[in-house]
Structure 1
């Protein structure tokens, strides 16, 4: 039950409201009344009310003065004013003090009921919001960190279902992952080094756990980055900063610290790779994919342990050849074509840097097994174990000129062990129609968390396929198109609503952080959103004056 204070110098009005309000709306009761603003103010010093209904013209202290005092002392208090037709200018003045609404005298029953219903709805919503707020405040920091890690894993693995479920929590938990820019860094074991040592293959997972724990401990000293696992149990870091140069500098420092600590404690070395700098949290998927791609440079440059996408782009053509050879191997596996497999394996082995060594063959062997495992990881677990044992236990020739020939034979045997059927691809669709559907979905849902995976799911194709055709047809990636739509909508709102708060506009166009929104807005328009809003407000005023 909500309680109400009536303030009016007319006894008949007070009696009418006191008698009828409980009849008009069963959630309201009049618990106090006052003949003027002064009496009402004395009551308010000792008791809170869910709603005040006050007349404007009263002796001692009128409704305007009461509204002013209430807004100063109790800004959340809901107030409805009563006014005659000749007092409309006064009613408008009262609205400056946060008055919820006003009712004209003589009172109309339907209007009074509608006002009470609206205020009831608002109060129920505020109660719900307050409950959520208190609940969120009591959520432990550890729980917040777990939510963040789960969300980031969903982003980098492009899991649209999890993204959609977890993203709203960030509004409630007040978690902001990116202020300006961010980058993904993947840290992986030199797995072939483990296989070269007399370490059981089953213990590789233990070394992965050690790597993750050491990385987490190092990061916790700074408190600025987030560490989580991807689907392959690689240790992944979210690095944040103001610009790409700062991000890369942080990555180098972290890599050096992790490398030194792991080497000291286990004797094992690591390799790290960094992706692109991104300004949208849902675009971290792109940064992660680039880090995964450039990680393959470890096969071509065994003397290096840190690869950044920006600085290692020169390796991309050779990585493309690696991917091409691997695709040919998988294609031969799908067709059960031994001749095609043999040719593809030979091409793959020929990419081993010269002069070939046992270590480089081991690297390529591990990559071969891990790449094929990605086809059907669940069903290949036992076969993968067998293949790794084959790789580890193989006795290589001592003659260097025969090493590549020996590696080809070994890799062919491994592929035979791992041969499985691959799921068929969906039928191709009209590319232009798909892009049109994707654009329409973005236009309709730009204010929501939008990942490439979610849009691809809606139009019925894979993320990579949609990414390629969208870029091809639109001459820009989907994230750039999405940002453009959000910025244009934000500009319209800032122009049309000169008194609107920037953070409200930011939230309505899909940004969790006003700082992140301001960063993107300034990049797009060249000035901060506040200045943009002020500039257009000034131009409107000048036009009106002219």
Structure 2
């Protein structure tokens, strides 16, 4: 129900109105009656009403003065004037004070009831409008962060570049933002070590690291003028700066970076990377600053994160030259083949450094890496391993490469791949060498009685160089070929001397010596005795 205050200096009229009007049926509550405008003003200080019905001529404060007061201090209250004066000046003042209706006395209960019904309808309609406006305001406030973010993303993506500068500022003011300056600059901020953080916080949502970063920067910059913090469609935190002097702004950005890095590393174990775009002189061109800030972060792939990248520090992409890595690949493959771990690491690191110095894009770097991987894959396929194992390893390496986000990480993956291949080659080479040594030992056991048996003979049969054979034979037997052959011949000679009565020249022939004197010399050197002395000693036993 709506509340009504009746103001008239005649008591009979006040009582008649109070008693005869069917207030409840009309949708009203009779809040009270006052004998003049002065009392009514006092009444309003303590009580709220929706409608005032007032006479014009009253002592102290008349109806028009009361209407003026209500218009100034209670603009939502509807005022109806009842007057016995059909004066134009009264009506004119009533209009000025936005009196809802000006009714001439005498007025009947029926007439007044009809008037109050129309006033009630007006009040109900206004109430609905207020409620709708209140709902709209509530929805606007609730959705303000979304509206802000949407509009800011529109301007950094160039959707309002055709507008006038003042139109963008006006819209920002509507969104409760104020930013000014001779120059404007975008900083794109990326969160680092997000995967490590999520692994230690398994129930956390994927976008939690980005949310943490945004809130830290929003809090830090809320105390500073001419800066706006929001998120782009890629969930990166964006800072829009307005400023006058470049030197002051550079110092400010460094300060913000260091402060944010200290908080996010110390409290969450995360890292941050700043990408600074070109400065522009108008918000209508802020999309160019955003584009350059996003593009400079591509160098994060080459140099790693947790640092500040300024677009002004890098050359234009169209000046980047291709580099020739063919010689380096040959050096790398050779180091892998001979299992030189230090050379593999050094050569690969030098190749990655050359790629960094070239400042080429990530996509171009991947072209070079694919060439390296292709050559390593070909080397792996040439080894004595199954096709299934080779394919599986290559797929594993590709999956690892796709997960890594910096050239440093990719270098580690490729280095491990090189060392994996080098290890297989070394293992297979060791197995081959061992087999060659075993074959040589067996060859000696079967052909020791051949006087023409020599290092050259066995190397010809094994199709291997004498120098390489000598090194692997020594490695796996602990003795040279000549020592092994002599040992075998002497052991066999001792066996014959012990078990037979053959003469020395006969024994010499049986163990591969044409010259018995040379045999005797070798035998004495090996056993400390001549063959005859060894035979007599053996027979006495």
Scaled to the shorter chain, the TM-score interval is: 0.3 to 0.5
Q: TM-score when scaled to structure 1?
A: 0.42
Q: TM-score when scaled to structure 2?
A: 0.42
Structure number with the bigger relative contact order (C-alpha 8 A, sep ≥ 6) is 1
